[in-house]
Chains A and B, each alone.
Chain A
């Protein structure tokens, strides 16, 4: 068993049995579900909206090359410096190069999962730069030196008391359990950082090919300040963020807000198309856009699973996933957790190392059902399982399934197995649940259904 899998199993077992965690997440997501359903009902037809969104993303991905060229040409015409990064190392080098050239010291950052993906903060800190996360949730997990717990709600796993303790310890603030006061504490700390920052780094929610603009949607206004105050702005985004037209935002912004947070639309929606122009009173003097591939083009080449690139990172699949809800976000050990993470991480970081995430699913399909852009998530988990087994099968398992096939195709052999099960059943009680129980994985927490005195086949035969 690989170290990654061992860690996953240990962590999953620990969190799954943690009743405090279970109730915390259930409460948080219970509120989300109520709001989400209310907002979904405000759409004339949520199902049709999903269909249109899926088709729009399909169109965007089918001509991604053309859309990207249009996006880049328009951005460059307004004086934006666009950089192409094939992988995380290149993207980090590009960003560090800009920071160095500007002789910067402080960096303020708004939420960007792509930055997590390429471990940008660690790289900047290693070079001695001060990096501050400006999204409240991200700010909290940064103070805890933790990865985000969720792609939309980074600090969902924490109570207000834990946050108060953290602020008290790290920022010297007085203890409070009032969420507004906690926000004000973070705000007072962050305002100073915006002003001191030389560089502002943002992610992007959408990249509009038609107009060459970045769309950022948020609730705290922190991305606006991150973009507006520092002299240099950098946006890092994956190439799959493209939408063909500006008008597509009319669907995608409310859809992202609804699926992601149960909101009609987020509080702040901004578009960025370039640096400050002559005569404009504010905005960055220099604007850099870094387009990240990092194996996305390999996923694009996979005809079966390329719809995974449609993802708008709303987190809806995490919220409904009973696995995610029971093992929590950190257990995955990946940037992208939940069903979408289990689907794409094997593509982004290697199938053999991450195939266990596709196996750790009951294939219930709640993710696929909720996905606003209709990614066939749970079937892709099956595809990953198939690809992993074809590439590097576990020979014990493969042999077992060969035997299984032979038995299931032979009534005589099936009867032998049935007879054996009946003979062994009374003895099972001696080892049940213990280390010598071959069915221990089941019987440690559950009773095994006994073989009936007369099976269906036996009863059927008696009727005849």
Chain B
């Protein structure tokens, strides 16, 4: 017997919005991240991002370590761009202590940081493709190529992920003798890899259909929401901390700052792709200019004691402006160490970017932020 549905006549029916929970364990959330979507049919009415599943108190822990030990926690914030975060931290310490690292160390740092940027963007390309629904197309190629860079890092530091290789005053030890040749090998693989991705993804019909015009952001909104990095540049604002407030030796290299036009998801992808090419350019120049010589500043004590003072050091990491606010009140431990996480600020704009779009587009928008939850939660 078929079930009969009947509507009581005369009673008003009302439409209610439904809450949909996404995460914390979900392939599209890139780690442990939860969001509660309030949907009206397919349309998103409200988004409540819930973070903190990876909150470890890295800032508090760093305040209880000496300046060298705290380097390890930097690796564990943005675990896809460890060299970039380490670089920011050790520079903050150097600024306060008045240490000048030797030339060779600076070149090594730039080369590794830029290679790390490429590796991180590879990761983005692969994971993003998975979000959109072109799993095999990009993922396999990008992970194959990322592994080539990862191997080089392992040869230098002995670690696959948690390098702890940069030190205040230089780097922990010198690079292997065949560093230049190995870098050139990696670069030629990267150049080919970028071409592969470009060919596979840029004109891919699925990607254009899912990304073009999704969550466009104006430059004014981007600044107001605190977006930085590729998210900001995709809106058309030509800003890069490496150029605007040069640190390390970035003022010596020639590179372009790619920008987008509409600030949508597709532009964010294009900006990242072009950034990889620019990073290759920087590494090439740095390899040319890298001198021989010491890799550590001279006359440093085993335990670093900093004078009183404070600094807000900012770097351009693959996700945007990474900041270390370091306060010293003397002694061998930071008094306060605040990590300004770019993914944290970028993610806080998810609500504003997603309201009014479709549920499926929210996932794409989230993917385009390129979050690393360890960095968001710290």
A and B interact: no
